[in-house]
Amino acid sequence: MRHRLWHNLRYDWPLHFVLWLLNGLPDNVFFLRLRGWAARPFFGRCDGDLRLGRNLDIYQPGRIRLGKHIYIAFGCALLAGEVIEIDDEVMFGPYVVVSSSNHTRKNGSFRYGGVEESPVRIGRGSWISAHVTVTAGTTVGKGALIAAGAVVTGAIPDGVLAGGVPARIIKPLDLDTDV
């Protein structure tokens, strides 16, 4: 109980206040950087150059570890029941959901079932497109591109385009050339 109160006072509540305070500002380069700068101290780790869009939903930011040069667009949700680790140079399109926990059933109902938690890791240089859901226990490899609307479960290897529900490899990306 005391541990949870400490996390609320140290990470959750200050981050929610900062995001609420800056939410009315437009999403342009200056204000994306300002939001990221103001929010940095309230994550478990943030290495720098964080850019945050408006209307974000962030649960347990103390369990979120961010590398350098991260962009999180408008309307994203990062729900860290367990650790969410995002490497350098990762981009999130609008309305991406990353959740490191899942509900379980008890007596035929999800309402009072327990929670299963499993870490999520997103590799360096990946792009998670708009409206993607990344589920608990997922690993997205370096330089991967996840197509819009995909639901990612399990492991996505380095350097591939993946999409669909559930996400499957569509094709490898040529890592030596820019797309």
**Residues catalogued as catalytic:** 103
- Alpha carbon distance 101, 71 (integer Å): 23
Residue 36 in contact with residue 56, Cβ under 8 Å?
no
How far from the centroid of its chain's Cα atoms is residue 80's Cα?
A: 9
- Alpha carbon distance 109, 102 (integer Å): 14
Instruction: Answer left, alpha or beta for residue 81, where phi above 0 means left and psi between -120 and 50 means alpha.
Output: alpha
Can you give the length of the chain in residues?
A: 179
- Alpha carbon distance 79, 45 (integer Å): 15
Alpha carbon distances (Å) from 61 to 80, 141, 156, 162: 7, 22, 24, 27
Which tokens go with 13? 């509540």
- Alpha carbon distance 35, 162 (integer Å): 30
